[in-house]
Amino acid sequence: MNIRWVITTLLCIVGCGEEHEHGDHDHGTHDAGASVDCTSTNEVSAFEIGAIFSSDDGRYSARVDAAMPETLGVGDNTWTMILRDGAGEPVLGATFDLEPTMPEHGHGTTPALFLGVESNDVAGAYEFGPFELSMAGLWRLSFSVREGEGSSATMSAEYCLDDAR
């Protein structure tokens, strides 16, 4: 058994398993269908197929080409993304990974990192998932891209999820 998985699981259970206060935020349990307040950030995005992520340095962009289910929500999610370089050309053979985290709660998912699996059918297409977003609240989806031995570039967006899909 992977010790990292065991430690991450235990930390999540201890950190989010019961209702308690942490200063300016509440990890508490959520009633099904209850609305979630994600007003602590001004950068919350509305999820849609076709959404474009751009790297901080402008070297890459990635477009959500497909999602299953079509709405991002609590539970399993699978995305296909098209990765392009700064000139708009498909990027092949890159290391392209996803790290979903809850910045207000200080935890992410298990596993913590999802490696994009490159498609043989569509140039620059990478599939992520399924990745499970375990609870309602503010989620940051951070992507990292690296080609060969070069430095990595990052891109991210934040989404507010409630319990309902």
47 pLDDT above the threshold of 60: yes
The residue with greater pLDDT, 10 or 63, is 63
Collect all residues with Cβ–Cβ distance below 8 Å to 129 and sequence separation of at least 6: 68, 76, 77, 78, 79, 114
Q: What is the CATH number of domain 44-161?
A: 2.60.40
Evaluate whether 125 touches 91 at the Cβ level (below 8 Å).
Answer: no
Q: pLDDT tens for residues 100-151?
A: 999 988 899 999 999 999 999 999 999 999 999 999 999 999 999 999 888 8
Q: What is the pLDDT of residue 42?
A: 58
48 against 9, higher pLDDT: 48
**The pLDDT of residue 10:** 38
Q: Quick one: DSSP state of residue 90?
A: B
Q: Is the pLDDT of residue 79 over 70?
A: yes
User: For the residues 41-65, what does the mean pLDDT come to?
Assistant: 89
Q: What is the mean pLDDT of residues 28-45?
A: 56
Q: What percent of the chain has pLDDT over 70?
A: 73
Alpha-carbon distance of 139 to 58, in angstroms, equals: 23
In this predicted structure, the answer to whether residue 32 has a pLDDT above a threshold of 80 is no
pLDDT score of 37: 63
What's the CA gap between 165 and 159, in Å, rounded? 13
Sequence ranges of the domains in the chain: 44-161
pLDDT at 98: 97
Provide the token pair at 77: 């999610």
Which of these, 18, 61, 30, 64, lies nearest to 136 by C-alpha position? 30
Q: Compute the average pLDDT of residues 12-34.
A: 42
**Residue 35 or residue 123, greater confidence:** 123
